[in-house]
Amino acid sequence: MNFDIPEDIAEFLDELDAFTASHIKPLEAENDNIRFFDHRREDARTDWDRQGLPNEEWEALLAEAKRRAIEANIFSYPFPKEHGGRDGGNLGMAIIREHLAAKGLGLHNDLQNEHSIVGNNIGLLLMLEYGTEQQKSDWVHGLKNATAGFAFGITEPEHGSDATHMETNAVKKGDYWIINGEKTWNTGVHIAQCDMVMARTSGQPGDALGITAFLVPMETSGVKIEEYLWTFNMPTDHAHVSFKDVRVPDTAIFGGEGRGLQIVQHFFNENRIRQAASSLGAAQYCVNEAVEYAKTRRPFGKPLASNQGIQFPLVDLQARCEMLRALIHKTAWLMDRDGAFSVSDKVSICNYQANRLCCEAADTAMQVHGGMGYSRYKPFEHIYRHHRRYRITEGADEIQMRRVAGYLFGFMNQKKPKGVD
């Protein structure tokens, strides 16, 4: 069994580091752009007079970094070769996401906005997998060049983890569908051209089948952004959106009538393993920084690192990083070999364990650094606030554990998650 990073991925990491040094770090240093990453970051990024949305200068900087990455054929790593990519799979993306997050905060990778110079472009991959020929014609160019995108409207005010009980519904009237309902935590609608709205079109609450995905243009009559929800880590791009008698044609259906949950499951599994890798990388960064600080800080005339009270928590975190890395790599490799749904239990284990690990590592790094660790002059509070979100979004810890229990005790089908044909 070979645990080496595959040669092509290792070579890409070298290319990635060289590109970051030559094209991203200079941009980060221009025009006081470092304000978006140092102790001023939250205030610099947030437009407090525009409902707490991301500052336009901040989003323009992210767009420029992405443009440079696209031009260098870095951003498109996970895309199919016929669409300008490198056929990067889940294993490659997991290794890359960890690698970038382990470097700390910077323009190369900012998880608060799900920004990275290597695109986690789930929208494109879903479009290629589930889109009609017309939808592909309309969307693929914009998606792969990051000039177009759609948000995902799944969660509702009264239904989060119990998505199959959603109240948003769509009723067919001739060649059109009339959508009514509400979505919340609808991320990215302020810049999206469409919202992929999940609505029940048949069946009963709790049924896996009968939920349909609709690509709804944001300017459609009856679509209203009620508010943007302020969060632990600002700025926000999470909206509460209402849909009142929203009329869309049959051609707005994405992935087939009644098959929307399969799209959600696919989206979640791909994202969860990458999210786990990012959390692992951020955790490793926190451990590394705490270890180095403990070696140099000398309270009472001796290195802080000489105290077992400092050593043991960091040893435990490092051990967990090593073990989790092995499972993430194995899981991502199996997903590439057997399909996104093949190891859903392991995806869930990786996800909730990595997100917990990152929060604990950030908290420990704060403690080791003392007062400075608690300040915004160090990135640990930012890392904690962001990754604490991951323990809730895209399946809370408890939901992940419930999925693992389902496969372990036999009341869920490993090869066929709910809603998957």
The answer to whether residues 408 and 345 touch, using CB atoms and an 8 Å cutoff, is yes
Supply 32's token pair.
């006081």
Pairing of strands 211-217, 150-153: unpaired
Supply 175's token pair.
């060649």
Catalytic residues: 394
Beta bridge partners of 176: 173, 249
Beta bridge partners of 194: 150, 217
Residue among 94, 111, 26 at smallest CA distance from 274: 94
The dihedral of CA 295, 298, 302, 308: what is its sign? Answer: negative
The answer to whether residues 69 and 78 touch, using CB atoms and an 8 Å cutoff, is no
In Å, what is the CA distance from 304 to each residue of 297, 301, 376?
6, 9, 22
d(CA 186, CA 409): 34
CA 159 to chain centre: 21
